[in-house]
Amino acid sequence: MTTRFTGNFTQQEPIPEEGIDAALAVLRHGRLHRYNTAPGETAETALLEQEFAAFTGARFALAVASGGYALGCALRAVGVKPGDRVLTNAFTLAPVPGAIAAVGAVPVFVGVTESLVIDLDDLEAKAGQASVLMLSHMRGHLCDMDRLMAICTAHGVTVIEDCAHTMGASWNGVPSGRHGAIGCYSTQTYKHMNSGEGGFLVTDDEALAAKAIMLSGSYMLYERHLAGPSPEVFSDLKYQTPNVSGRMDNLRAAILRPQLRVLPEQIARWNERYQTVEQGLRGTPGLTVIARPAQEVYVGSSIQFLLLDWASGAVQDVLKRCGSRGVELKWFGGAEPVGFTSRYDSWRYAPSEPLPASDRILRGILDMRLPLTFSLEDCALIASIIREEVGAVFQAGSRQDTK
- Mean pLDDT (whole number) for 51-72: 98
pLDDT at 1 over 60: no
Give the model confidence (pLDDT) of 360-385 as tens digits.
Answer: 999 999 999 999 999 999 999 999 99
Please give the Cα distance from 229 to 173 (Å, whole number): 26
Provide the pLDDT for residue 278: 98
Q: What phi-psi label fits residue 87: left (phi over 0), alpha (psi between -120 and 50 degrees) or beta? A: beta
Specify whether the CB–CB gap between 286 and 394 falls below 8 A: yes
First to last CA, the chain: 37
Q: Please tell me which residue, 351 or 379, carries the higher pLDDT value.
A: 379
Number of H helices, E strands in the chain: 13, 14
Q: What is the percent of the chain with per-residue pLDDT over 70, rounded to a whole number?
A: 98
Would you report the helix, strand and coil content of the chain in percent, each value rounded to 5? 40, 15, 45
DSSP label of 14: P
* 249: pLDDT strictly greater than 90: yes
Round to whole Å and give the CA distance between 146 and 113. 17
Which architecture characterizes domain 263-396 according to CATH? Answer: Alpha-Beta Complex (3.90)
Q: Is it the case that residue 51 has pLDDT exceeding 50?
A: yes
The residues, ordered by sequence, that sit 6+ positions from 294 with a Cβ below 8 Å of its Cβ are: none
Instruction: Give the mean model confidence (pLDDT) for residues 70-78.
Output: 98
Phi and psi at 358, nearest 5°, equal -70, -35
What value does the mean pLDDT of the chain take? 96
Q: Which amino acid is at 68?
A: G
Provide the edge-to-edge strand list for the sheet that holds 199-203.
60-64, 199-203, 182-186, 158-162, 132-136, 85-89, 106-110
Identify the weakest region by mean pLDDT among 143-152, 153-162, 348-357. 348-357
How many angstroms separate the CA atoms of 197 and 64, rounded?
A: 9
SS3 per residue for 259-271: HHHCHHHHHHHHH
- For the chain, what are the domain ranges? 17-261, 263-396
Number of C-beta neighbours around residue 212 at 10 A: 28
Within its chain, how far is the Cα of 399 from the centroid?
Answer: 31
Give residue-wise pLDDT tens across range 294-348.
999 999 999 999 999 999 999 999 999 999 999 999 999 887 778 777 789 888 8
Q: How far apart, in whole angstroms, are the C-alpha atoms of residue 361 and residue 352?
A: 17
> Helix (H, G, I), strand (E, B), or coil: what is residue 237?
helix
As beta bridge partners, residue 204 has none
- Give the pLDDT confidence score for residue 259 in this predicted structure: 98
pLDDT band, residue 292 (cuts 50/70/90):
very high
Contact 71, 96 (CB under 8 A): yes
Residue 403 has pLDDT above 60, yes or no: no
pLDDT score at 340? 76
pTM value is 0.96
Mean pLDDT for 80-107 is: 97
CATH 3.40.640.10 fits 17-261, yes or no: yes
